[in-house]
Amino acid sequence: MDYKPQQIEKKWQDAWRTSRAFEVTEDPARPKFYCLEMFAYPSGHAHVGHVRNYMIGDVVARMKRMRGFNVLHPFGWDAFGLPAENAAIKSNTHPETWTLDNIAHMKGQLQRLGISYAWEREIATCLPDYYRWNQWLFIRMFERSLAYRRRSTVNWCPSCQTVLANEQVVDGGCWRCGTPVTTRELEQWFFRITSYADELLDAIAKLDEWPEKVLTMQRNWIGRSEGARVRFALAGPPQSPSPDPIEVFTTRIDTIYGATFVLLAPEHPMVERFAQESADPAAFRASVNRFRSQDRTARMTGEVEKEGFDTGRKTINPFTGAAVPIWVANFVLVEYGTGAVMGVPAHDERDYEFARKYNLPIQVVVRPPDGPTPDVEKMTEAVSNDGVLVNSGPFDGMTSDAAREALTAEAVRRGIGEGTVQYRLKDWGISRQRYWGTPIPMLYCDKCGIVPVRDEDLPVVLPKTAEFSGRGDSPLAQIPEFVNAICWKCGGPAKRETDTMDTFVDSSWYFFRFCDPKNDAMAFEPAKATYWGPVDFYSGGIEHAILHLIYSRFFTRVFRDLGMVGMDEPFQRVLTQGMVLRNGQVMSKSKGNVVDPDDMIQKFGADALRVYVTFVAPPEKEIEWTDAGLEGSFRFLARVWRLVDAVCDTIAGDGIPAPTGTDLDESERALRRKTHDTIRRVTQDLDPRVHLNTAVSALMELVNELYQFCDRPGRSIAVRRGETAAPAGVVERKETVAVLKEAVEALVLMLSPFAPHMSEELWERLGHTGGIAATAWPEYDAEVAKAEEVVVPVQINGKVRARLTVPAGTSDDDLQVLALADRQVQVHVKDKPIKKIVVVNGGKLVSIVV
C-alpha cells in the first residue's frame, strides 16, 4: 500500500475535530504548558513563512502534550488594521467582510496543516466581544493616569494617513509602507509606558530565555541615560531681557567648565521668543525655518551637514560665569532631553565640528588620566573619554565620575539644576485617524470635560456604515449618530472621540484573553490567567522585537497592578524564527514569489511540508525555499511508511513482550541501542533545546538502521521490494520481533509531532487505539543505550593514527598498554621517545606525544 497523504490527513483532521482532541481546561493536578505562536494578521493567504512559525510551536505543543503537560495551544486573529480599510476603499467591500472572509480562508489553510490548536478558543480582535475589553482597559488606565490626552507633534504617515507611534517609525519611514514620515500637531491619546521604563529595563536581566538580540534591542529602545539638567540664565539684554533660563540636559556635567556656547533645537520654544525680540524677526524666522523645513528623516539620521546660526543672545555659564553665545543648530533634537544642549567642543565630537565650522571658542577641561592636557591648537578631534578635570576651578583634579557627582550636587545646592534620568522611550501614542480599529471610549462634554464611557455602556460599537475616504480625517467623525452622545454625568450633549486605537493595543494582551476567551463579564478571570500564564514558549518574527514584545510587557504590568494577573512578565521563553525566503527575497504577493501551502499539501501532503520546514535549518535561521528539499522530506516519510507497511503484520498486536537485555543477538542489541540512543537524542533536541532539525535527522538515522536490520539475510521482513524473499515459512525469533516492535513504535511516536497524520495512521495500523496525542512519549533507558564496545581513537602528535576496539569500561592503564601495543601506533612512533601519553575523559581517546 503506497503512501497517500491526502486521504490520511483528511481522516485525522476530522477525527481530531470530532474528538476535540486539543481542547483543554485548567487542571491543577498536572503541570501546565502554554505554547503560543504570534497570532496572524488575516491578510488573505497564509504562506509557508507562516507555516514555519506555526510548525515550530506545534511540534513543541504536541511533544509537551505527550510528555504529560496540560498544553494550552490556541490561535486567533489580529484582525483590525489598515489593509482591511484600504481594501475597502479599493474594492468597495466592507473591512469586516474582507477580514472575516480572509479569516475563513486562512483558518482552512491552517486546519489542513493539522496544527493542534484549541480552536474553541479562537479569537478575532475586530469583534466587539474582544475589543470591548480594550475599551474597558483603556478606561482603567485613564482612571490611573496611564492614559492621557495631549496636543503634541506626532509622526504622520502621509500614505497611511494616520499617526504612528515612535516604535512604528523605522529608518524614518512608516513600519508598514516605508513612506517617509512627516509630523503633525494633533490632540492625541497616550499610554504612559514611561512610568514603567525603569521596571521594563531592569527586568530584562531576568529574561534569560529570550534571544539576546531582542533584549539588546529593547535595552537600546528604552535608552536610559543618567545625567543632569542645568539651567543657564540669560545674559544682559541687547533689548529686553528674558527672565526664563535655558535648561539643558547633559550626561557630561563634568565638562561644564568647557561649555563655550549653548545650542537650541530649531523647534525650541525660546527660539520664537528670540525671534520676536530680535531686530528683524522676519529674517530671524527665515533662518530658523530653513532648518525646520530640512528633511526630517535626514535630520534625524545625521545625513544633513551640521549647521547653525547665532541668535545674537548670550547666556551665562553658571560655573565659569562667562557669557556664552546661544545658537540654533539643526542637529539638536527637540524631542530628546530639554531640546537644548550645552556646547562643549573640546569633549564632544558634534560640538567640536560645530565650533570649528563657526569659529567658536574651544576650552579643554578634561585631560586623559595618564597624559598631559591636550593643546587646543593641536587638537584635530574632540576628546570624549572620561579623564581628570582641569581648568575647572575647585573641581580640578577630580575624575570625571567624581566630578559628575560633585558638580550635580553643587548645581542642586545653588538651585540651578539637578540629577535626572532621561529615556529614549516615549509615551505610546495610540490615537489613529482610521476606521478599522477599536473606538476610544471617551466623551467630550462641554460641561464635564473629558468623560470616560461607563463600563455598563461598553462596548462602544464600531458603526457598520462609514465613508472610507482615506483622507486622513477620522471616518467616524462623519457619522453624526456615532459622534453625538449624551454625557452620563450631566445628561447634556457630548461628542464621542472619533479616533480608534492603534492595533498594537489589541495584540498587547490577547495571550491573556486566550486563557478565558468566552468570558463576557470580564477581560478574563484572574485565576485562569494565573493558571496558564505566563506563556511558556512564544515564537514569532524578529520584526516584533520591540513593538509587540515591549508593549506586551507593559500591559502585563498594567494588568498586574490592576490585580488581574500574578506575574510581571508575559513570556517565559521567546524564540524568533527565521524567515522563509525564495530567490533570496522575502515572500510577498508583489514580488510574485509566494509559495502557497495548499499547493504543497496537494502535491506532497501537509506532513511532508511540516517535516521540511522543521528539518531544513534551525528554527532561528532564515531558510531558502526549495522544492527539492520538500521532495526529500516526502521521500523520507514514504520510506517510513514502507517500513511500517512491511513489518506491520509481524509486530502489530498484543502478546509481544517488551525486549529484555538477555537472549538478544548482536544485531538485536545494536538495534535496541540505536533505538534508545535516538530517544535520548530526539527528546533532548526537542526539550529543552528546540533543535527540530537535528531531531529529524536522528529519526532519519533510526529509519536507515531499521532498513539495515530488516534486510539482514534470512529475515522474512525485508522491506526492499523484490526481496521479500526469505524462504517461505521463516518465522522470526521472538526477540527480533520484540526489538523491532520497540524500535518502530518509538519511531512512530517521536515522528508524530512532525508528521502527526501519518503517525496516527501508522499507530492505528500497529494495532493501537486511542490516538497518539493521548499516548506517552517513549522513555529512554540509559542502560540499553550504553555501548558494549567502544572505538577509542589514538592520536599521535594530534593526529588520529589508530583506532582500538575495546569493551566499554576498559581502564585507562589498559588503554595505554593497548595503544602502545597497536601495530599502527608502533609504525608511527618507531623509535622516537614518548614524551607524554594521556587518556582523556574516562577512555574516550588516547593521545600520545613523541
Alpha-helix runs per DSSP H in 309-376: 349-358
| Contact pick of 26, 209, 701, 812 for RNA (by CB under 7 A) | 701
Instruction: Tell me: does residue 704 bind RNA (CB under 7 A).
Output: yes
Q: How far is the CB of 301 from RNA (least distance, A)?
A: 5
Does 278 bind RNA (CB under 7 A)? Our answer is no
Task: Indicate whether 834 belongs to the interface with RNA (CB under 7 A).
Answer: no
Residue 330 engages RNA in binding (rule: CB under 7 A): yes
Using the minimum distance from each CB to RNA, give the nearer residue, 361 or 632.
632
Going 57 to 63 to 67 to 71, the CA torsion angle's sign is positive
Q: Show the cell assigned to 629.
A: 528539499
Nearer to RNA, 212 or 779 (CB): 212
Site for RNA in 201-260 (CB under 7 A): 212-213, 216-217, 220-221, 223, 225, 227, 249-252
Looking only at residues 618 through 647 of this chain, which bind RNA when binding is defined by CB under 7 A?
618, 621-624, 626, 628-629, 631-633, 635-636, 638-639, 642
In which residue are the cell numbers 623509535 written?
831
State in angstroms the smallest separation of the CB of 258 from RNA. 11
Is the separation of the CB atoms in 772 and 756 below 8 Å?
yes
Q: From the CB of 650, what's the least distance to RNA, in Å?
A: 18
Query: Are residues 700 and 639 in contact, defined by beta-carbon separation less than 8 angstroms?
Result: no
Site string for RNA, 418-437 (x = CB under 7 A): ----x-x-------------
Residues 62-101 that bind RNA (CB under 7 A): none
Of 127, 379, 617, 648, the residue at the interface with RNA (CB under 7 A) is 617
**What whole-number distance in Å separates Cα of residue 482 and Cα of residue 416?**
51
Beta carbon nearer to RNA, 130 or 504:
504
Give the residue, chosen from 35, 719, 762, 773, that forms a contact with RNA under the rule CB under 7 A: 719
Scanning 73-81, 484-492, 523-531, 699-707 for contacts with RNA by CB under 7 A, the matching segment is: 699-707
Residue 332 touching RNA (CB under 7 A): yes
Q: Which pairs from 331-335 meet CB under 8 Å and 24+ separation?
A: 331/299, 331/302, 331/304, 331/306, 332/263, 332/264, 332/265, 332/266, 332/268, 333/265, 333/300, 334/265, 334/266, 334/267, 334/268, 335/153, 335/426
Q: C-alpha grid cell for residue 9?
A: 490527513
Residue 103 or 546 having the CB closest to RNA:
546
Task: Count the residues in the chain.
Answer: 850
**Minimum separation from the CB atom of position 41 to RNA (A):** 19
- Binding mask 720-749 toward RNA (x if CB under 7 A, else -) reads xxx---------------------------
Binding mask of the shown chain, residues 280 to 319, with x at each position contacting RNA by CB under 7 A: -------------------xxxxxxxx-------------
Do the beta carbons of residue 386 and residue 399 sit within 8 Å?
Answer: yes
**One-letter-per-residue 3-state SS of 193-214:** HHHHHHHHHHHHHHCCCCCHHH
CA distance 692 to 676: 18
Q: Is 798 in the site for RNA (CB under 7 A)?
A: yes
**Per-residue string for binding with RNA, 148-177, x by CB under 7 A?**
----------------------xx------
- Pick from 327, 442, 801, 829 the residue near RNA by CB under 7 A: 801
Binding span for RNA by CB under 7 A among 340-348, 547-555, 724-732, 761-769: 340-348
Q: What distance in Å separates the CA atoms of residue 352 and residue 381, rounded to the nearest whole number?
A: 7
Q: Which is nearer to RNA, 32 or 828 (CB)?
A: 828
Residue closer to RNA by CB (options 495, 642) is 642
Residues 6+ apart with CB under 8 A from 74: 36, 117, 118, 121, 122, 123, 514, 517
Q: Does 795 bind RNA (CB under 7 A)?
A: yes
Site of grid cell 477620522: 474
Query: Is the CB of 128 or the CB of 173 nearer to RNA?
Result: 173
Burial class (CB in 10 A: 0-12, 13-18, 19+), 810: middle
Single out the residue of 558, 616, 738, 744 in contact with RNA (rule: CB under 7 A). 616
User: Does 356 interact with RNA (rule: CB under 7 A)?
Assistant: no
Q: Return the number of the residue (127 or 837) whose C-beta is nearest RNA.
A: 837
Continuous H helices in 437-582: 480-483, 510-513, 526-532, 547-561
From CA 744, how far away is CA 688, in angstroms rounded? 24
Q: Minimal distance in Å, beta carbon 837 to RNA?
A: 9
3-state DSSP helix/strand/coil % of the chain, to nearest 5: 40, 20, 40
Unique residue bearing C-alpha cell 533660563: 245
What amino acid is encoded at 13 in this protein? Q
Could you say whether residue 588 binds RNA (CB under 7 A)?
no
> Which residue from 414, 454, 803, 832 is in contact with RNA, where contact means CB under 7 A?
803
Using rule CB under 7 A, residue 363 touches RNA? no
Residue 336 as a binder of RNA (CB under 7 A): the answer is yes
Q: How many residues bind RNA (CB under 7 A)?
A: 96
Per DSSP (E only), the strands in 619-663 are 623-624
What 3-state DSSP class applies to 502?
coil
User: Of 64, 496, 676, 681, which one interacts with RNA (CB under 7 A)?
Assistant: 681
Q: Do residues 692 and 616 touch, judged by C-beta distance below 8 A?
A: no
* Closest approach of RNA to the CB of residue 95, in Å: 29
Cα 72 from Cα 56, distance rounded (Å): 15
- Residue from 136, 567, 793, 812 binding RNA (CB under 7 A): 793
Among 104, 461, 522, 800, which residue interacts with RNA (rule: CB under 7 A)? 800
The DSSP element (H or E) to which 133 belongs, if any, is helix 128-143
- In the list 276, 469, 660, 708, the residue contacting RNA (rule: CB under 7 A) is 708
- How far is it, in rounded angstroms, from Cα 694 to Cα 685? 7
CA 73 from centroid of its chain's CA atoms = 18
Q: Which of residues 770-789 bind RNA (CB under 7 A)?
A: none
Q: Is 385 near RNA (CB under 7 A)?
A: no
How big is the CA angle at 132 (ends 126 and 133), to the nearest 5 degrees? 105
Q: How far apart are CA 679 and CA 783, in angstroms?
A: 13
Q: Which of 104, 177, 283, 333 binds RNA (CB under 7 A)?
A: 333
